[in-house]
Structures are given as structure tokens and as C-alpha cells.
Structure 1
């Protein structure tokens, strides 16, 4: 009986985290390796986006009449250097209508480097969803990863509900503290030096509040985006609010018929740190009082959403900003994200590109 060569096995790849880095990793792997990979994305949240999530009003009856609100990333700023090196990605998003140039003034923003700013007309989560669609990945939400265990040449990844599944390669794109909390064989895999580097990563924390209004309501301010303070001086937490934006003015979609505006505010970093362990329900009235003080003409909202970002932006990244960290070569386990670069679109893209380079070496 003659023998024939069998086709190479399809590599099963799990990306943990449906945020920007995770979606970019999935997309880049698909574009490079096509049908040589079966990509699965798990995220513990109920929606994709991570820190680029876009929220609807909490009251279903008002969701059809109010604009959505970006409670995480507000807009994308590209330096001149990144605008050149990542030109193809920006062009792709602009051509798809996922991004458009920010064409309104940003009050109180002191530093400008001559780069370009972009907003997402349908919300920042649209950027993540675009790359997830391009990846063709099987996306599973409310899949909270708790443990990774080696099973021969594979990783068995277990979820909070006790279910598990095996993969040939795993990419972790969740915040570093959540990586360090994973159980199973991770403790044996991570070297002493790697653990020290990961343990030194730190994040800022903040609260974000969205107020949703009925169609035709005037929010009570003339601007689209405004910074209220620098956010990091010793008494900045007394000011509570450091940033505010009016949707849809920010997105350039103010003429959308039948959609009421929404107002988004972010607290300063010191305020977020001081109140980090308090429940959102306790902190929301404090923020709301300050918003009403800052905007005396603020109308009554028809919906309110307050969110706590325990891991908002990276304050201290992994030394050297390597883009990723390989925790295990066989089976492959790599972690990535803004903790290995810096907290913005280009930082996440740089990290994802470095992950792609790792897969090129092992595929």
C-alpha cells in the first residue's frame, strides 16, 4: 500500500482577551497563516472591546433614542512616526468608515506633536470589532479563563465555570495582574526574572460616567471635548473630573436623526486611586455632583452608566518595552498588550506585530 504525505495539522490558537491587542493578534495571524490556524478568542466580558468598549444606555427602553458612549478610549492619536509606519492600518480603518479624522477642537489639551487624531463614528469598540471580523475567529464572550495546564504538546485552558479545552498555542492579552493570577502550571513556566518584570508593571485607575439624554436635548456646553486639569498633581483628586466629551459631537455624527446626545466624563487618576475599592454605586453620586457643578445647565438624563476601570492605562511598562513575552516555547504561550509597549492604538499594534513575528518563527 503506497503512502501519501498528510497535510500539516491546523494549529489551534487561543487568544485570551477581546480587546484591541487580542483582536489585532487574531487578525494578523489569520492574514499571515490563512487556513493553517484555527483561531479562537475568549473574553470574560459580555461584549468585545476591552478598554475600547462602547456602552449603550442601561435602560433598554432608552437605548434606541440615545447615542452610545465610549467609556474607555476616547479617540486615537497617531504621532507623525506612527502615522507613517502604521499607515496601512490607519488607511484600512478610514476606508472602512471605522475611523474618521477628529475635526473639532479639544479644549484644555496642552501638548500637540503635529500628529493626527481620529474618532470612531460608531464608537471605539468598532475598531476592535473590525479586526475581529477580519480574523474570522470564533469569538466566545463570558469565557473567564482561570487556569492553564500543560497536556503534552498542548495547553489545557480552563474557565471559571470549570469547562476546559486544549490548544496548541495561547496568547494572553489581558492585564498583567490577571495573568499572574492564573492557576495551573503557569507558576512553573514563568521564570523568576520574568515574574519580576511582570510584577513591576503598574496601571492607573479611574471611573468613567456616561449620561444619556433624550433626542433634541441641549447638554448645556458649547464644546465637544474638554480636559479640566492635568490629572496628576497632588490635589487633582479634589477636582474629581479631568475630562469630558459630548457624543455625538466628538464623533462628528451630531446630525443623526432621532438620537439623543450623551455626555462622558473621566475622573482623574488620583481620584480613581483613592476610591478604587469602593463600589461604583457609592462613587457615582460623587462624580455626578461634580459634573452638575461644572455644568450648571446640565439637563436631566434619561439614563446613567458608571464604570470602574481598575486597569486604565499603563503607568510602568515591562522594562525595555519588548512588545511581548514568551512564557513557554513548547507549547507556545505568549503574553502581549500595552503593558509591553505603551497605552494607545499604536502600542497595541506594535505588540500584536511582535506576536506575529513569534508565530512566524514557530509555524
Structure 2
């Protein structure tokens, strides 16, 4: 039985694990490592420290399906809709520039529920706080080192973390990359931004009519959402949650500052936009160094194969485009390579 390690429990990694299980059944042992304390990656959902408040999506906010992808990825949308993970977005989004006949979907249980659904379907052995630091070729296997110490051996390795983190790995990866591959990976660029969640007590009512709003007149804030309202999750007597995303320019200007120093600036701007906002019972700030892909790997079919034997491939939205369907495209392309490599 082949052991496959998927590094990264975000959307691409979880879907790749799920598809691999469905295709190869019990012919493969699938292991997923993530350096965080939970799954989701940039589709993470944060719980309030106070159980009386709703959770909040600090990363991706909703999923937009173009007519073309609604058709080509119909099976994925159908699966998530029928299982209740996705629902159509009906709340008012002020300033949303809707293209053609695209449809927007929300996640009643938070964006991380999409990732958790596919991880559950994968039956993978899932390990958090497993931070990969090095890859070493050992004959027909890979020895994978962790930051906490220790290493394990795998027959194939799939890397789905942001490209700069791939390039930082120690070991044999550096000299296995061709000059052309390194140039392509070096050219990947990401936007950076800060996100803040405000958690309120159950007696708070947020009076504005929208579920989310795109902001155009602030040097700092680009987007605000009443997250519980956006997800139609205003039930169970929990307090509302408010999510703020900064502009790309603000994120770039403050990227190297501690989030604790940046949070007061964001909150000051928020109170200019929403004067009289009630006092939250808790606040969480997140710095997304790698938010959305601005420049993806050129001429790429959704993945990059570094070594065929033992198999080492990279995937994720940097190898396609930075949204739900880009991650699906990448997972499908990696599945094809894995099947060819792992089946006699």
C-alpha cells in the first residue's frame, strides 16, 4: 500500500485527499499534515472565545460559480448543496459587482465546513501542528522532516501550501527544481491583507440592512460583513459577528508590523464608517501574508511535477487561479498524476 502525504489541510489538499480516496479506495494510505491547529487554510472559520457569539470567517467569504464552472464542476456544487454545506447567498451585498449569470453561495457553518466535508470523505489520517521543514530523497521514497523534530517516510508527497513556503523547504527540493521551474515559482505573487472579527453579545442588534458591504471611500477598509447574517446563521440565540477585511494597499503598507499594532488602526477606521457600533465582547485579528494570488504560475495545468519517482508535486490556487474553482481544477489535475504514479 502506497503512503501519500498531502501537506496543507486547505481546500486543494482536502479535495485532493477526497478524490484520491474515491478513485483508489483502500489501495493507498492518505496522510494530511497542516502546521495550523485546525483545517481550512484560507477558508478558516474562527470561533469566538466567548461561546455566546457566532463564529466568523476571517478568510474566504463566499463562493462564486460562473456559468462555465457551475457546469464543469457541477458534481462538486451538487454534492455540497445536497449535504447542506453550501446554500445560495440571499443577503444584500452592497457594492458587489456581479458578473454575467454567476451564482454566489454561502456556508451556514462557516467556510471551513467545505474543507471539513472533503477531509471527512477522504478518510485521511489528519495531523495538525505538523510543520514541514525539509524534504529528502531516499531511494524510492521521501523523508519528510517536521519543525517539532522527527521525520516520516512516504511514497509520494503533495505540497499545497503557498509557493514561498514551498521554496523555503530545506533538503533536496532546491537542486531538484529545474531553472525554468524555479523561475516560474519565483514569479508567483500574492496580495496581503488583515482581517478582524468582532464578536458581540446576544443582546446586540446591528441595525444596518446589509449582510456585507464593499467599501470604496476608506484608505484602510475594503469589505465589512455581518458574518452571521451573510451565512443566514442568526439562530440559536448567539450574538452577531462582524468581519472586516483591509484593502490590498493597506495590507502591503503594514505587512511587516505586528497585527496587535495594526488592529487599533483598523478599528479606528471602522468606527468612522460605522459610528455608534456597540462594544464587542472579543476581537480577533488575522494577518494574511498570502491572501489571494495576484500572479500565478504561467502555462501551468493546475500543478507542477518536481520529481516523477518518488512522486513530488505542487498544487493549489497559485497553479490555477485564486478561488474555489481554481482549487478544484488544481486538485483534479493532481489526482490525474497521482493515479498514473500509484496504479500499476
- Residue 73 of structure 1 pairs with residue 52 of structure 2: no
The answer to whether the 8 Å contact 1:338/1:351 transfers is yes
- Residue 152 of structure 1 pairs with residue 143 of structure 2: no
Partner of 2:292: 313
Computed over aligned residues only, the root mean square deviation of the Cα atoms, in angstroms, reads: 0.9
- Residue 138 of structure 1 pairs with residue 129 of structure 2: no
- Residue 323 of structure 1 pairs with residue 305 of structure 2: no
- Residue 90 of structure 1 pairs with residue 69 of structure 2: no
Match 1:123 to one of 94, 110, 114: 110
Question: 1:223-262 residue pairs with structure 2 within 5 A?
Answer: 223-229=210-216, 239-254=219-234, 256-262=235-241
Partner of 1:285: 264
The answer to whether the 8 Å contact 1:219/1:297 transfers is no
Partner of 1:15: 6
Of residues 116-125 and 212-221 in structure 1, the stretch that sits farther from structure 2 once superposed is 212-221
Secondary structure at the aligned position of 1:350 is classed as helix
Computing the radius of gyration over CA atoms, which structure comes out larger, 1 or 2? Answer: 1
The answer to whether the 8 Å contact 1:100/1:118 transfers is yes
Q: Which runs of 5+ in 2 are unaligned?
A: none
Aligned residues: 342
Partner of 1:232: none
Q: Which runs of 5+ in 1 are unaligned?
A: 1-9, 230-235
In structure 1, C-alpha distance between the alignment counterparts of 2:8 and 2:32, rounded to whole Å: 7
In structure 1, C-alpha distance between the alignment counterparts of 2:243 and 2:149, rounded to whole Å: 37
- Residue 26 of structure 1 pairs with residue 17 of structure 2: yes
The answer to whether the 8 Å contact 1:322/1:340 transfers is yes
User: What is the TM-score of this pair, normalised by structure 2?
Assistant: 0.98
- Residue 186 of structure 1 pairs with residue 173 of structure 2: yes
Report the Cα offset of residue 333 of structure 1: 0.1
User: What is the TM-score of this pair, normalised by structure 1?
Assistant: 0.93
The answer to whether the 8 Å contact 1:219/1:263 transfers is no
Report the Cα offset of residue 115 of structure 1: 1.2
Secondary structure at the aligned position of 1:282 is classed as helix
Secondary structure at the aligned position of 1:249 is classed as helix
In structure 2, C-alpha distance between the alignment counterparts of 1:260 and 1:127, rounded to whole Å: 23
